[in-house]
């Protein structure tokens, strides 16, 4: 038989059919395709636009890509988890934004019925820290106290989570000094609150297992601060200024016992205090780091000078005072002044060491 007259054909089974109608309709909203997303709690007809300012009643501006400057009538609906825009004619969903992506609601200055919705842009952790510092005053979140109410939020928990998020970066510190400086500036704003001040000694372990993630707030902050003191003066100043916020409460209705606990923890390591004083002496001798010197003087003031020294433990007070007294020449160099400008009524510097008084006088005839 002639084999060249035959043709071999192979037939493969067809793949399972794609149910486009059901699959696409159910998953077209992605992660927001849930029952809670579409269950409307309240809604209102409004005019919506991007970037353009409008003065119609119940208007809303979106801080997003400038797709249109003309206001469009929409139904603005609130669900359990999202902010939803619908077309009034068809009631079809136009946009869905989870509440977690809403950054701010801003009322218009001229028209109280106009407001702007700002959404969180895509960014990294450094961008989030930068925005936090830009929106929170340097005095910190002083009024972050949870109030009773149906829709009140646990602000203490938010502050603790923010602190842990910042301290979780200590394994690999940011390469740029500016980023690390912003980390300490953010922590300082958080510990200025009552919850952040108490969290230094009360915040439990943040994780399970071994490694740095299993450390407490105090241990994590210690590691981060010691590494930061090896950077430039900008980072050092931010770190020391943050320590000062933990030494002396910046909020109202503070607890003296908590202040004692914080000081006892911060002043417990002699090696750490020697490191801080070395930074102080080096900058004074070289005439550099004015902000570092100022922050370290605040640190010493909160530990040794009345009335702040009342919450400093006796043994730690004596230890730090002896360390400062051993560098008396540096202090004199820092506070020296011209003889002609000397105030004759100026009192000598007096440091009290429990039952012993140390009197420091400058010999102007030397």
Q: In terms of Cα–Cα distance, which of 196, 317, 313 is closest to 254?
A: 196
Closest of 57, 60, 38 to residue 49, by C-alpha: 60
pLDDT of the residue at 148:
55
Q: Which of 120, 143, 145 is nearest to 132 (CA)?
A: 120
Residue bearing tokens 């060491």: 353
Per-residue pLDDT of the chain (366 residues; tens, 9 = 90+): 455 566 666 666 666 665 555 555 555 666 666 777 778 888 888 877 654 333 333 445 555 444 456 778 888 888 888 888 888 888 888 888 888 888 778 888 888 888 888 877 767 888 889 988 988 888 887 666 555 555 556 778 888 888 888 887 655 667 789 999 999 999 999 999 888 898 898 876 544 333 434 567 888 888 889 988 999 999 999 999 999 999 998 888 888 999 999 999 999 999 999 999 999 999 988 888 899 999 999 999 999 998 899 999 999 999 999 999 888 888 877 776 444 444 555 444 444 433 334 444 434 343
According to the 3-state scheme, what is the secondary structure of the chain? CCHHHCCCCCCCCCCCCCCHHHHHHHHCCHHHCCHHHHCEEEEEEEEEEECCCCCCCCEEEEECCCCCCCCEEEEEEEECCEEEEECCCCCCEEEEEEHHHEEEEEECCCCCCEEEEEECCCCCHHHHHHHHHHHCCCCCCCCCCCCCCCCCCCHHHHHHHHHHHHHCCCCCCCCCHHHHHHHHHHHHHHHCCHHHHHHHHHCCCCCCCCCHHHCCHHHHHHHHHHHHCCCCHHHHHHHHHHHHHHHCCCCCCCCHHHHHHHHHHHCCCHHHHHHHHHHHHHHHHHCCCHHHHHHHHHHHHHHHCCCHHHHCCHHHHHHHHHHHHCCHHHHHHHHCCCHHHCCCCCCCEEEEECCEEEEECCCCCC
Are the C-beta atoms of residues 154 and 145 closer than 8 Å to each other?
no
Give the separation between CA 297 and CA 99, rounded to whole angstroms. 44
Predicted confidence (pLDDT) per residue in 257-301, tens digit: 999 999 999 999 999 999 999 999 999 888 888 999 999 999 999
- Angle between helices 217-228 and 177-191 in degrees, nearest 10: 140
Distance between CA atoms of residues 301 and 299, nearest Å: 5
Q: Evaluate whether 266 touches 246 at the Cβ level (below 8 Å).
A: yes
C-alpha to C-alpha distance for 225 and 268, rounded to whole angstroms: 15
pTM value is 0.63
Query: Which pLDDT score is estimated for 239?
Result: 95
Over residues 41-55, the pLDDT tens digits come to 888 888 776 543 333
């Amino acid at each position: 038989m002639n084999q060249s007259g035959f043709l071999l054909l192979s037939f493969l089974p067809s793949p399972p059919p794609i149910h486009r109608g059901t699959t696409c309709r159910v998953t077209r909203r992605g992660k927001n395709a849930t029952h809670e997303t579409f269950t409307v709690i309240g809604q209102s007809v409004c005019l919506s636009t991007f970037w353009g300012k409008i003065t119609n009643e119940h208007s809303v501006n979106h801080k997003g890509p400038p797709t249109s400057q003309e206001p469009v009538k929409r139904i603005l609906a609130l669900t359990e988890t999202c902010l939803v825009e619908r077309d009034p004619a068809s009631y079809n969903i136009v946009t869905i934004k989870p509440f977690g992506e809403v950054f701010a609601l801003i009322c218009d200055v001229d028209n109280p019925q106009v407001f702007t919705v700002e959404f969180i842009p895509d960014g990294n952790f450094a961008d989030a820290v930068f925005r936090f510092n830009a929106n929170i005053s340097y005095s910190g979140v002083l009024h972050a106290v949870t109030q009773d109410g149906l829709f009140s939020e646990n602000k203490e928990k938010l502050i603790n989570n923010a602190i842990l998020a910042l301290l979780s970066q200590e394994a690999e510190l940011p390469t740029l000094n500016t980023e690390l400086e912003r980390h300490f500036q953010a922590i300082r704003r958080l510990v200025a609150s009552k919850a952040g001040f108490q969290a230094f000694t009360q915040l439990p372990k943040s994780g399970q297992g071994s490694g740095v993630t299993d450390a407490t707030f105090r241990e994590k902050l210690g590691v981060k601060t010691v590494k930061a003191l090896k950077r430039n003066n900008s980072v050092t100043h931010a770190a020391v200024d943050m320590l000062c916020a933990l030494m002396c409460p910046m909020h109202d209705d503070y607890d003296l016992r908590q202040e004692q606990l914080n000081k006892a923890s911060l002043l417990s390591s002699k090696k750490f205090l020697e490191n801080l004083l070395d930074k102080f002496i080096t900058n004074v001798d070289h005439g550099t780091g004015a902000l570092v010197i100022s922050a370290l003087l605040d640190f010493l003031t909160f530990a040794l000078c009345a009335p702040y020294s009342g919450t400093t433990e006796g043994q730690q007070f004596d230890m730090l005072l002896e360390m400062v007294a051993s560098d008396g020449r540096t202090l004199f160099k820092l506070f020296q002044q011209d003889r002609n400008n000397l105030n004759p009524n100026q009192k000598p510097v007096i440091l009290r060491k429990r039952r012993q008084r140390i009197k420091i006088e400058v010999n102007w005839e030397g």
